[in-house]
């Protein structure tokens, strides 16, 4: 994280590059969060299926 003073000392081009980098990283982060949510849903479904299997066939 850059300090306010560091940001004020940066050129316009450097600020634009930093902004682009942050936006790109934010996009990657959002995609990973979406992927993680989907994987959690899949794992939950597998868990429900497994628990159902256990209760029906191992009594």
The pLDDT tens digits for 25-50 are 999 999 999 999 999 999 999 999 99
* Mean pLDDT confidence for 10-36: 97
Q: Are residues 13 and 5 in contact, defined by beta-carbon separation less than 8 angstroms? A: no
Q: Which string of b and e fits 9-48 if b means at least 16 CB within 10 Å?
A: eeeeeeeeeeeeeeeeeeeeeeeeeeeeeeeeeeeeeeee
> Is the pLDDT confidence value at 4 over 80?
yes
**Is the pLDDT confidence value at 59 over 70?**
no
pLDDT of residue 54: 85
Helix and strand tally (H, E) in the chain?
A: 2, 0
Six token digits for residue 47: 């868990």
pLDDT score recorded for residue 1: 83
């Amino acid at each position: 994280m850059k300090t306010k003073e560091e940001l004020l000392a940066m050129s316009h081009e450097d600020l634009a590059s930093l902004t682009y980098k942050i936006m790109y990283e934010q996009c990657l982060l959002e995609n990973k969060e979406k992927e993680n949510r989907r994987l959690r849903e899949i794992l939950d479904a597998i868990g429900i299926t497994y628990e159902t299997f256990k209760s029906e066939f191992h009594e």
